């Protein structure tokens, strides 16, 4: 018996996406402005990596952990800013100790916390970062994201033309910026794992965009007289199945990490999950329409016969 594959997107799909470009780009501007407002007013909930201090993950051997009692107990130690956050199924918690004057004081503060918790609480992990290291990590994280975006700009410019490079990078910055804004909105911890997720998202997003751009360039060479808006719609529709289905499968895998993974990868998995969704949106509804604003045409993709002839005569 021969089974036929299921066609999620009919081959004759012709959604009018470019004609709605003002709506999609306007929505992107609104999201970007909202993210900027959140980052300006609230900032980010920096983790120990960027803020400095000590992070201790604890778990009770049996029974639930009374978060209120733990807060009261640790608040009497005189260690400054101490935060206790319940995680997991009620028997786990994350304890964050604010930055101390020096590394020796930081280690002493962690020891006091462990002693105060008693033997009934198991220490699962401890992370300490000093003020010098935290500021260096923050600076390195910013540089790494900027370097990744710059490298992608050069690659797409070399692979296509400058119009494609600028449109692709603007869509990519759109994805990273809005994802960062979501961390401010939901007050999720922003740490090195989140930066790693943003870098992964940058590569994933531009990969989807390059697939659409490659089909656009191919169709520009194939359909010499087709209207440009119609050609962009055709190219997006032809790659729609690949873009949406690939992103959906990846999102399901990351969703499993987000729902069932440990607290240590919670921020990473959320950044990846939301980034995949916004990246798929930008590849379809933002990157290709932006090409119209940068004057892309068939001459930028393939020189006309007159120009080619002129060049051969000069040679």
Q: What is the pLDDT of residues 104-115, one digit of tens each?
A: 777 787 788 788
The total domain count for the chain is 2
Lowest-confidence pick of 127-136, 168-177, 183-192, 216-225: 127-136
The residue among 258 and 50 whose pLDDT is bigger is 258
More confident residue, 95 or 41: 41
Whether 222 contacts 3, CB under 8 Å = no
The reply to whether 1 falls in a domain is no
pLDDT of 233: 87
Predicted confidence at residue 304, as pLDDT, reads: 45
Q: Is residue 314 part of a domain?
A: no
pTM of the model: 0.76
- The whole-angstrom separation of Cα 189 and Cα 132 is 20
108 HSE (CA, 13 A, CB side)? 9
CATH number of the domain encompassing residue 161: 1.20.1640.10
- Residues 203 and 115 reside in one and the same domain: no
Instruction: Check whether residue 219 and residue 88 sit in a common domain.
Output: no
Digit-coded pLDDT (tens) for 165-190:
888 888 888 898 999 999 999 888 88
301 neighbors 221 (Cβ within 8 angstroms): yes
Top mean-pLDDT range of 32-36, 132-136, 154-158, 284-288: 32-36
pLDDT for 181 equals 92
| Measured distance CA(216)–CA(18) in Å, rounded | 13
3-state SS of 176-193 is HHHHHHHHHHHCCEECHH
What is the helix, strand, coil percentage profile of the chain, to 5?
Answer: 70, 10, 20
Asked if 263 and 121 sit in the same domain, the reply is: no
Q: How far apart are CA 211 and CA 192, in angstroms?
A: 29
Q: Could you say which of 107, 129, 151 is where a domain stops? A: 129
Residue 313 domain flag: no
Cα maximum dimension of the chain? 87
Rounded Cα–Cα distance for residues 287 and 208 (Å)? 10
Whole-number pLDDT of residue 84: 77
* Residue pair 19/229 in contact by the 8 Å Cβ criterion: yes
Distance CA 89, CA 161 (A): 52
Q: Do 160 and 283 fall into the same domain?
A: yes
Kindly state the average pLDDT of the residues 261-272: 81
Which residues form the domain of 116? 53-129
pLDDT value, residue 10: 61
Q: Give domain status of residue 308, yes or no.
A: no
Rounded to the nearest 10 degrees, the angle between the axes of helix 192-222 and helix 131-159 is: 10
Tokens of 27: 């929505």
Q: Decide: helix, strand or coil at residue 80.
A: coil
Nearest Cα neighbor of 301 from 162, 159, 161 is 161
Tokens matching residue 228: 């440009």
Tokens encoding 73: 């107990």
Clarify whether residues 124 and 215 are in a common domain. Answer: no
């Amino acid at each position: 018996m021969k089974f036929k594959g299921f066609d999620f997107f009919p081959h004759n799909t012709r959604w009018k996406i470019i004609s709605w470009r003002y709506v999609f780009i306007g929505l992107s501007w609104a999201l970007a402005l909202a993210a900027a407002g959140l980052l300006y007013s609230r900032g980010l909930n920096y983790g120990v990596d960027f803020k400095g201090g000590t992070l201790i993950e604890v778990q009770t051997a049996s029974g639930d952990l009374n978060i209120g009692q733990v807060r009261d107990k640790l608040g009497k130690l005189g260690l400054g800013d101490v935060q206790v956050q319940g995680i997991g199924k009620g028997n786990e918690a994350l304890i964050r100790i604010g930055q101390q004057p020096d590394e020796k004081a930081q280690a002493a503060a962690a020891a006091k916390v462990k002693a105060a918790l008693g033997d009934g609480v198991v220490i699962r992990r401890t992370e300490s970062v000093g003020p010098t290291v935290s500021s260096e990590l923050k600076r390195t994280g910013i540089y790494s994201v900027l370097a990744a975006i710059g490298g992608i700009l050069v690659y797409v410019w070399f692979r296509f033309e400058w119009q494609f490079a600028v449109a692709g990078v603007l869509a990519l910055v759109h994805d990273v910026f809005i994802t960062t804004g979501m961390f401010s909105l939901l007050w999720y911890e922003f740490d090195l794992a989140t930066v790693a997720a943003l870098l992964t998202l940058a590569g994933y997003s531009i990969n989807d965009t390059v697939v659409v751009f490659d089909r656009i360039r191919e169709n520009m060479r194939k359909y010499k007289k087709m209207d440009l808006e119609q050609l962009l719609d055709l190219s997006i529709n032809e790659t729609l199945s690949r873009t949406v289905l690939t992103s959906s499968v990846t999102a399901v895998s990351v969703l499993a990490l987000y729902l069932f993974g440990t607290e240590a990868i919670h921020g990473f998995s959320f950044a990846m999950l939301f980034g995949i969704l916004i990246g798929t949106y930008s590849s379809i509804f933002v990157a290709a329409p932006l090409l119209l604003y940068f004057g892309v045409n068939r001459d930028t993709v393939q020189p006309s016969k007159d120009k080619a002839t002129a060049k051969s005569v000069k040679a």
